[in-house]
Structure 1
Amino acid sequence: MKVVARRDVTGELRTCSKQEGPAAAANYAGQLQTIARPVAAMTATYPNESTSTRHAHRRDQFILQITGVTAMMTERGHFVVPPGHGLWIPAGVVHQSRAWGEVEAQTIYVTPDRRRGTSETCRLIRASSLVEALMDEAVRMPQTYDQDGRDGKLLELLLAEISHMPEVTLHVQVPPDPRLAAICKAVLGDPSSDLTLDDWADKYSLSRRTLTRLFRRETGQSFSVWRQRVRLLEALARLGAGEPVTCVALDVGYDSPSAFAAMFKRELGAAPRHYLRWTDQEVVLR
């Protein structure tokens, strides 16, 4: 653990504890669940491809991605969290994370009674500059911050701003039906697989019509659209880890980088090289 002392605008000395690696982060997160304040915060770093154990928290959790990309699997969906995005995970939701690239993330744990309009389901947002600034303040606060003073007011504003942010759809649902869940988990494990809907229907002794109907009923979309979203999320995670666009496009099942780029821009509104922040290493002074 690295401890960095900083002074805020009032001159007060604040301590920022940075947990290094999944084990240290998990241990510290456990301690924060019983802090005698409604909000507890931490910063943590994770090596490339490191994973957490499957776990849940007694408090609501909000994770703000600073660098790298985090893939988050929950019981009901798979999320990808790029830099500048935040994921809200309600208390009790089982989840497991995987780091793509060298990841740094800031996290707050919130007692459910302070939810105040934030979601009772997992929710991914693109963070505003205000959320980013307030999270930076939160991780520097003492654990026993003054709830009635400046720190308490900043945290109230942070929770209000998080609840105000629009949702981003960088996730896929995993349906509760065990047959569909098995298919979805297999595709998530190998997004490049070219098995067709007929192949999956034969494997689980279902007719194509039944599988199509079940899949649309439980996910709200067709299997092909769902699989395209899985490939997009896999690509986004790997691009965030710095892998070349061409390699990513071919590895997730596209015949050419141009076809992949067209899909990516159609879905996210920007070319693969431009969607993630800090993809250009050069800093331009304007």
Structure 2
Amino acid sequence: MEPDEWTAYVPSGERQVEDPWLLTTGTFRAPEPMEWETVSHPEPELLWSGTGNVTVEAAGHVWLVPPALGIWLPAGMPHRVKASAGTVTYATFLNPGLTTSVSPTVTGIPMSRLLREILLHNQREEMPDEARLRLQQVGVDLVRPVQAASLDIPLPKTPELRSVADRIIADPADDRTTEEWARELGLSGRTLMRWFQRDTGVSLTQWRILVRVRRALIDIAAGTPVVAVSRRLGYANPSTFIDLFRQVTGHTPAAYFRSVSGLDDAAPLSAVPRPTVS
């Protein structure tokens, strides 16, 4: 399989990294909105994006993948990937027999400029075997869990609630109230609140804030000013959005990106602009 020629996801059970190699990276592109079937791999996978909107569903949660962060998927973890039109996504597989497990659970990985360049250089360049192994070892050493707030969003298990969740993820600015969603489902507002809390551990209102903040991370990392992001998500007052962002992540948008180890020099293939409020 040639680099940059992936048009489908890797089938379940297909080994990607043979001894003595430590890792390999493939590229797949979505010229139009795409959704791949649920799949698992015998090797751990680091999924990261170059451009576009990518989501990963695994272990009953959904992760939004901003350009500055990757998603670590342990070996054998079933997952489903969705990508918006124009997305470029990378899948880096690690040799489970020759590398130490980064995490036994799905987690975020800071994608510093150095880590990106190492993974891409390994993917694209010819070099002696010894040099490639040294390069790959440095890449493995840089794959470490994020220390800032988690990017995962718990998904409801009840089918009716899942349909609501999917629509909110598709349009985080949807401002329908709990009562309005309940009427649409033929439920009382109290029942909807109780079911949503039971399935996700948070209220529908809190859950929608989580979705908006995670979506904001993608837009801010792409260089969209915080004011524009807040308006796009339905907040007329940017300070309201910034306060909610701080409640979820513990930081303002600008401080969040600084707080994640390695993200001060993290970037997609073109540099990620710093968050701005203009």
Contact 1:85 1:124 in 2 (8 A): yes
Match 1:84 to one of 29, 50, 68: 68
* Matched AA of 2:193: T
1:238 is aligned to 219
Matches within 5 A, 1:219-230: 219-230=200-211
Larger RCO (alpha carbons 8 Å, 6+ apart): 2
User: Cα–Cα, structure 1 residues 121 and 179, in superposed 2: closer, same or farther, change >3 Å?
Assistant: farther
Gaps of 5+ in 1: 2-16, 282-286
Q: Secondary structure at the match of 2:196?
A: helix
1:10 is aligned to none
Partners in 1 of 2:98 and 2:179 — Cα distance? Answer: 48
* Matched AA of 1:119: S
Q: What per-residue deviation string (whole Å, max 9, x for no partner) do you get for residues 37-73 of structure 1?
A: 16541253746875353342424311244x4354213
The structure that is strand-richer by fraction is 1
The alignment's TM-score, normalised by the length of structure 2, stands at: 0.70
Match 2:230 to one of 223, 226, 249: 249
Contact 2:25 2:120 in 1 (8 A): no
Is 2:54 the counterpart of 1:56?
no
Q: Sequence identity of aligned pairs in percent?
A: 22
Is 2:168 the counterpart of 1:184?
no
Contact 1:197 1:208 in 2 (8 A): yes
Partners in 2 of 1:31 and 1:95 — Cα distance? Answer: 12
C-alpha RMSD of the superposition: 4.0
Contact 1:82 1:240 in 2 (8 A): yes
1:4 is aligned to none
**Which protein is bigger by CA-based radius of gyration?**
1
Contact 1:126 1:167 in 2 (8 A): no
Question: CA offset at residue 270 of structure 1?
Answer: 3.1
The alignment's TM-score, normalised by the length of structure 1, stands at: 0.68
User: Cα–Cα, structure 1 residues 54 and 157, in superposed 2: closer, same or farther, change >3 Å?
Assistant: same
Q: Secondary structure at the match of 1:230?
A: helix
Gaps of 5+ in 2: 258-265
Is 2:80 the counterpart of 1:95?
yes
Contact 1:141 1:151 in 2 (8 A): no
Partners in 1 of 2:148 and 2:100 — Cα distance? Answer: 17
Question: CA offset at residue 197 of structure 1?
Answer: 1.4
Q: What per-residue deviation string (whole Å, max 9, x for no partner) do you get for residues 214-251 of structure 1?
A: 32232222221110111122223233444444443222
